[in-house]
Amino acid sequence: MNPYSDPEDAGRLAAPALPLTRRRFVQGMALGGLALALGWPRRGEAAPELKGSVLDLRIGEQRVNLTGATRTAITVNGSLPAPVLRVKEGELLTVTVTNALAEDTSIHWHGILLPANMDGVPGMSFNGIRPGETFTYRFPLQQGGTYWYHSHSSMQEARGLYGALIVEPREPEPFRYDRDHVILLSDWSDEDPHRILARLRKQPTYYNFQQRTVGDFFRDIKARGLKAAWADRRMWGDMRMTPTDLADVSGYTYTYLVNGTTPAGNWTGLFRPGEKVRLRFINAAAMTYFDVRIPGLKMTVVQADGQNVEPVLIDEFRLGVAETLDVIVEPTADAYTVFAQSMDRSGFARATLATAAGLDAPVPALDARQELSMADMGHGSMDHGAHAGHAMPAQAHPATETGNPGVDMQAMTPMPRLDDPGVGLRGNGRKVLTYADLKSVFPDPDGRAPSREIELHLTGHMERYVWSFDGVPFSGAEPIILRYGERVRFTLVNDTMMEHPIHLHGMWSDLEDEQGNFLVRKHTVSMPPGTKRSYRVTADALGRWAYHCHLLMHMDLGMFREVRVLP
């Protein structure tokens, strides 16, 4: 059966795609922001801002134009992205949400500690919000920091239902700044996300034009010799994988946005000379990791996932889907480019920090295409960092992976690699943030050693485009049972070639270093291919909680579990 059964697909086969760099230019120049009817985002604003402890949100649809084609987006109070909510730690937050869509909807408060029935996951914490109905979220704010909110229904977050949630802390923060800007990164497609998923199910490489060519093979022979080049190609061929497959969905269909604005729209955040500026980076994308830098400007990291960390001076960082990172910069020139390139280098989001509207700075070229190695996949050693020279015992795997048509590879020697910047960022001459650099300003908040360990393997099959834990998709999995008050170690092993951001609802994930010591508190832990990382969880929240990969289509296809905390 021909997987390209519609005229648009047939046309795509008949004619070669535009080079991605030119496509980025065309998309960026079509329209620099939303349709004029929306009236924002305005320069220097992330989105309309709502303050207070009692808020009203209305979820609806609106016609927008980001690329030259008019499409329907999901908006909140008429805004794409949704309004920035600025609230205060210690208050009781009440948010009334009205659904003006023709389908069910929901809001999940990402990284926020709250009662399970307020978490916003349909079928688990509540029934969802039906068309025409109103639901009231009410919960105490127990933490400060930079967070976000998004739909947990029908891939609506890919259509615009996401926004920043800023919780002003009750106590003074251990750093000073004069003003702050939200930098909300996202990926927009004119295609419906369900259509994108259907295409990936038919042909997983549909959006990946960065396949290796015969010319690449001859270059490998010249650099490494025929025997090594042939052996490398044979290994990848046997696994039916490609080392260029860093992202399932690329800039071929995505336009990358800052605060709802295209690169050509050039969202601009203003500052005065001499000010310290806090930038609250949030990755609200559906499927895209971003590598972020501000050429000519150092960044001091002060928060990760809303929690204060020891300051780290960096040039660049990789931000996984759903992660947040707060940095402070001290600009001295008139304008700087905030440059966020997708991990697969198929496109970029761009904004400007400037002393006046209308100023801009040079936009750097995309970095060169990167490729995964066998060591990246957990098949061999990587000679760098704290793990160099360490013994690497063979990794055991759950029986459910054996002979499983939904599992196409297993990492044989996975390592934590907490000090690894990641593929495409190593040795680039810039100081790139790693998890090893992040250290919470507080000691282990629980203090107890874990009483038991739960090991889970991230699994999938690229050709079949299926995703799971331990080779078992959510539809066939039993809940993970925790007892209230216990301290548990979760160990994740990535048996896939993709990087996965793993998010546990309702409880903190206290990431450990390579010696098993508490390192940093997070709500989302990124797992590069071939890694094995551990974090501690205190089961201090009764109820049913979602636990999943935050790549939207991986979650939708089964890389999802229920964690049930019982008395």
- Encode pLDDT of 512-526 as tens digits: 999 999 999 999 999
The pLDDT, as a whole number, for residue 401 is 95
Residue 392: pLDDT band with limits 50, 70, 90: low
Average pLDDT over residues 400-428: 94
In this predicted structure, the answer to whether residue 229 has a pLDDT above a threshold of 60 is no
If phi over 0 gives left and psi between -120 and 50 gives alpha, with beta otherwise, what is residue 37? alpha
pLDDT score at 206: 83
**Residue 118: which pLDDT band, with cuts at 50, 70 and 90?**
very high
What average pLDDT is seen over the chain?
88
**pLDDT tens profile 14-70:** 223 333 343 444 344 334 334 334 444 445 566 899 999 999 999 999 999 999 999
CA distance 294 to 271: 15
Cα→Cα distances 235→230, 379, 500, Å: 9, 11, 23
CB 424 within 8 A of CB 291: yes
| Beta-ladder partners of 480 | 563
Give the residue-averaged pLDDT of 468-475: 97
Tokens of 208: 């990946």
Alpha helices in 255-318 (DSSP H): none
Q: Residue 138 has what pLDDT?
A: 98
Closest CA to 553 of 230, 199, 222, 260: 199
Cβ contact 287:248 at 8 Å: yes
SS3 232: helix
Backbone φ, ψ for residue 227 (5° rounding):
-60, -50
* Domains recognised in the chain with CATH numbers: 30-172 (2.60.40.420), 370-567 (2.60.40.420)
The reported pLDDT for the residue numbered 17 is 32
Bridge-partner residues for 60, per DSSP? 75
Give the mean model confidence (pLDDT) for residues 180-184: 97
Percent of the chain having pLDDT more than 90? 78
Q: Compare 224 and 217 and report the one with higher pLDDT.
A: 224
Residue 217 pLDDT level (bands cut at 50, 70, 90): very low
CA dist list (Å): 234 to 105, 151, 238, 396, 409: 47, 43, 6, 25, 15
Average confidence (pLDDT) over 102-113? 98
Q: What is the pLDDT of residue 262?
A: 96
pLDDT in the model for residue 393: 87
Q: Is the pLDDT of residue 1 over 50?
A: no
Does the N-terminal peptide bond of residue 479 adopt cis geometry, omega within 30 degrees of 0? no
Q: What percent of the chain has pLDDT over 70?
A: 82
pLDDT of 79 over the 70 cut: yes
Minimum mean pLDDT range among 81-95, 181-195, 225-239, 357-371: 225-239
Alpha carbons 228 and 223: distance in angstroms, whole number: 10
* pLDDT score, position 205: 85
What per-residue confidence (pLDDT) applies to 296? 96
Q: How do residues 317-374 score in pLDDT, each as one tens digit?
A: 999 999 999 999 999 999 999 999 999 999 999 999 999 999 999 999 999 887 766 6
Q: Which of 111-125, 245-259, 521-535 has the lowest mean pLDDT?
A: 245-259
What lies within 8 Å, CB to CB, of 290 at 6+ separation is: 185, 256, 283, 318, 319, 340, 341, 342, 343, 349
- The mean-pLDDT minimum among 217-231, 263-277, 282-296, 416-430 falls in 217-231
Q: Sign (positive/negative) of CA torsion 328, 329, 335, 340?
A: negative
Q: What is the pLDDT of residue 373?
A: 67
Query: What pLDDT is recorded for position 306?
Result: 98
- Please tell me the least confidently modeled range out of 152-166, 202-216, 245-259, 467-481: 202-216
- Residue 159, SS3 per DSSP: helix
In angstroms, the Cα distances linking 389 to 380, 385, 386, 396, 422 are 12, 9, 9, 21, 19
pLDDT tops 50 at residue 155? yes
Q: What's the CA gap between 316 and 324, in Å, rounded?
A: 14
- Whether the predicted pLDDT of 461 surpasses 70: yes
Name residue 206's amino acid: Y
Residues 502, 549: contact at Cβ < 8 Å? yes
Q: Which of 565, 488, 491, 566 is nearest to 527 (CA)?
A: 491
Per-residue model confidence as pLDDT tens digits over 257-292: 999 999 999 999 999 999 999 999 999 999 999 999
pLDDT band at 225 (very low <50, low <70, confident <90, very high): low
Angstrom distance (rounded) from CA 109 to CA 87: 13
